Amino acid sequence: MSYEEAELMKRRAEAFLRNAKRLIEEGEWDLAVFNLEQYCQLILKYKLLVKKGSYPRTHSLRSLIRSLGQPEMLKLIEDEEHLHYIARLEEAYIVSRYIPYSYEEKEVLDLYRFVTEVFKRYVDR
């Protein structure tokens, strides 16, 4: 994949994060969580593209984090509290398509805080 294609993936990831914020402001909790998951998934795939030239065809955030193989990033799945959030974001991908579940405001705000204050800090290193 070319540099331009990788940068497009990064821009899309960032757009999902901006869209999640907008959806939260509008009270669209379910779609906001889905957008948070999409941000996480695409930004990890972007990092893999830059580092390794490709990425595995998976939606699993845990698998993508392991594939990066960076000790610092592995803390996202080794730390019990961080793993809880990563697992909730993974669930959002499945829930948004197949399970009738509605997120509540408090859950969404907590996930948004995790993504913007914790996950993003690890990814931006």
pLDDT for 1 equals: 65
pLDDT for 96 equals: 82
> What DSSP string describes 13-50?
HHHHHHHHHHHHHTT-HHHHHHHHHHHHHHHHHHHHHH
Distance CA 25, CA 10 (A): 23
pTM value?
A: 0.94
Q: Percent of the chain having pLDDT more than 70?
A: 99
pLDDT for 35 equals: 97
How far is it between the farthest Cα atoms of the chain? 40
Q: Which two tokens stand for residue 39?
A: 């941000």
pLDDT for 102 equals: 92
pLDDT for 51 equals: 93
Res. 10 pLDDT band, cuts 50 70 90: very high
Report the CATH number at residue 13: 1.20.120.330
pLDDT for 71 equals: 92
pLDDT for 100 equals: 86
Res. 125 pLDDT band, cuts 50 70 90: confident
Residue numbers of the domain that contains 50: 3-123
The helix or strand, by DSSP H or E, that contains position 66, with its residue range, turns out to be helix 61-68
Q: How many domains does the chain have?
A: 1
67-124 residue pLDDT tens: 999 999 999 999 999 999 999 999 998 888 888 889 999 999 999 999 999 999 999 9
